[in-house]
Amino acid sequence: MDDIQQYLEQHREAFEDDLCDLLRIPSVSADSRHRDDLRQAANWVFGQFKSLGLAAELVETAGHPIVYAESPPVDGVPTVLVYGHYDVQPPDPLDEWISPPFEPTKRDGNVYARGATDDKGQMLTHVKSVQAVLATAGKLPIQIKYLIEGEEEVGSANIEPFLESRREQLACDVIVISDTSQFGPGRPAITYGLRGIAYYELRLTGPKQDLHSGTFGGAVTNPLNTMAKMLAALVDNNGRIQIPGFYGDVVELTDAEREQFAALSFNEASFMKQIGVGGVSGEAGFTTLERRWARPTCDVHGFWGGYSGEGAKTVLPCRAGAKFSFRLVPNQDPKKIGESLEQMLRSLCPPGIKLELIDLHGAPGVLVPLDNPFMSAAAKAIERGFGTAPVFIREGGSIPIVNAFAEKLGADTLLLGWGLDDDNTHSPNEKFCLADFHRGIKASAALWDELGKLGA
Ligand code: BES
Ligand code: MN
Ligand code: MN
């Protein structure tokens, strides 16, 4: 391990340079204009695996390519599958970035760029750790397989068929994902729960073209008014979602878990300061951490139609649209929720409005078992990498593939996140703390070592 440590110290700059190379590729999966950039990012990741001497493959899908790689089998010890994503969220609004999103820039110990923490920087820690082990020990203590995809940010639609068709090749004992966060600076964490998601677009169409609101208003249903009513009907004043049956399958928090959340010494004042708000609200009867990690929610992401240019225009718009999603907790089924939602919206739809509900993507929530040797190995590895033992947390974000891994490969996932809640993921000025990048690489190398100490 001393050799590895020395290698890591000597290669800090080289690792950061490699990360910056990847961050320069604008691999925005939601935007079809970036198709070639996604392929370039996939090729870059593929090139990393090739240069480590691993068997690697660029797998074509109906969407963006999947990068698969594996090291040779090692008998008598666990096999690990590392999952990550090379795609990123759109960078807009562009004028709010201090340095451009695809020109990685180092400032105050961080690297700023779209994808820095989500997930290029975090994913790369598991590549660089293997580079260090191979360069110093010549071989890995365990077999590592990599599955790096380019469609996580758009719902991972093409990876399930891949899992299905490659069950044997992907066979593993445990999955490792670094695409979550620490509890705070200097407080590394293992995440044992994620929320799921059910994401929709709603389109309402009224008259065949925009109308004068004086001539027609009051007698013709306005799609934007209807949209506002429908969206408002989704949640009541206590933060309870109003879709019939919505809470039927919710796994409630146990008292023990609520106590554990409370014991994490979450500071609400600094949370409010971090996001720049003077107050918080949410489902009545739950704390902020409970609301964020373990309760379902509804958020509108976009809402359009009519006139929003300068001055006043008296128009009765002919159409309205909205994008919104529900975060789900374990055991809620996105399909069931979609059906119930559609029924509810149709029942609220007045005469003269055509309603179209599009299911954009869905994934169930996740809870992973804590009581197994892989968790203990991960906790030891984090302590070795970060100098502090991890706390166990849940998080509110979603990683669609985790349930499919459990179902299709029969393996549980270790969610070992090196990010921070103030990394500005999905927003302007995304960053990743460079010290955490290096600690993550160190923890990753320690993880291969700890897992190698476990019998299969
Ligand atoms: N890395 C995030 C997931 C995440 C975010 C986990 C915050 C824990 C805390 C991932 O890249 C992501 O953004 N997922 C999407 C999934 C969606 C597009 C299906 C999300 O959560 O919105
Ligand atoms: Mn991510
Ligand atoms: Mn993301």
Catalytic annotation present for 87: yes
Catalytic annotation present for 168: no
- Determine the Cα–Cα distance for residues 200 and 139; give it in Å rounded to an integer: 47
Range 57-86 average pLDDT: 98
Say yes or no to pLDDT of 31 above 80. yes
Least confident of 73-77, 281-285, 329-333, 452-456: 452-456
Range 270-281 average pLDDT: 96
Range 282-305 average pLDDT: 98
pLDDT confidence of residue 276: 96
- The DSSP call for residue 235 is B
- Determine the Cα–Cα distance for residues 57 and 50; give it in Å rounded to an integer: 9
Query: Distance, CA 197 to ligand 2 centroid (Å)?
Result: 14
Q: Is 239 helix (H, G, I), strand (E, B) or coil?
A: coil
Which of 153, 160, 191, 401 most suits a substitution to test ligand 1, by most atoms within 8 Å of the C-beta?
Answer: 153
- pLDDT tens digit sequence for 83-132: 999 999 999 999 999 999 999 999 999 999 999 999 999 999 999 999 99
- Paired sense of beta strands 366-367 and 319-328, if any: unpaired
Say yes or no to pLDDT of 177 above 80. yes
- Determine the Cα–Cα distance for residues 50 and 56; give it in Å rounded to an integer: 6
- pLDDT tens digit sequence for 419-450: 999 999 999 999 999 999 999 999 999 999 99
The residue whose CA has the least distance to atom 7 of ligand 1 is 397
Going by pLDDT thresholds of 50, 70 and 90, the confidence category of residue 456 is: low
Among the options 16, 37, 70, 87, which is catalytic? 87
Domain residue extents for the chain:
2-194+365-453, 196-250+296-363
The residue whose CA has the least distance to atom 1 of ligand 1 is 179
Residues above pLDDT 70, as percent of the chain? 100
Q: Is 257 helix (H, G, I), strand (E, B) or coil?
A: helix
| CATH architecture observed for domain 2-194+365-453 | 3-Layer(aba) Sandwich (3.40)
* Inter-CA distances, 94 with 24, 119, 428, Å: 15, 20, 7
Query: Distance, CA 152 to ligand 3 centroid (Å)?
Result: 7
Mean pLDDT, all residues of the chain: 97
Query: Distance, CA 115 to ligand 2 centroid (Å)?
Result: 8
3-state helix, strand, coil in the chain (%, to 5): 35, 25, 40
Output the six-digit token pair for 325: 């999603």
Output the six-digit token pair for 192: 């044992």
What is the per-residue burial (b if ≥16 Cβ within 10 Å, else e) of 20-36? bebbbbbbbbebeebee
Beta carbons of 435 and 106 less than 8 angstroms apart: no
Domain covering 196-250+296-363 assigned CATH 3.30.70.360 in the classification:
yes
- pLDDT tens digit sequence for 372-409: 999 999 999 999 999 999 999 999 999 999 999 999 99
The string of DSSP codes covering 140-206 is -SSEEEEEEES-GGGT-TTHHHHHHHTTTTT--SEEEE--SB-SBTTB-EEEEEE-EEEEEEEEEE-
pLDDT confidence of residue 2: 85
Query: Distance, CA 392 to ligand 1 centroid (Å)?
Result: 18
- Determine the Cα–Cα distance for residues 318 and 222; give it in Å rounded to an integer: 7
pLDDT confidence of residue 212: 98
- pLDDT tens digit sequence for 224-266: 999 999 999 999 999 999 999 999 999 999 999 999 999 998 9
- pLDDT tens digit sequence for 142-152: 999 999 999 99
Task: State the pTM of this model.
Answer: 0.95
Among the options 119, 152, 290, 412, which is catalytic? 152
Range 33-49 average pLDDT: 98
pLDDT confidence of residue 455: 82
70 lines ligand 1 (CB under 6 A): no
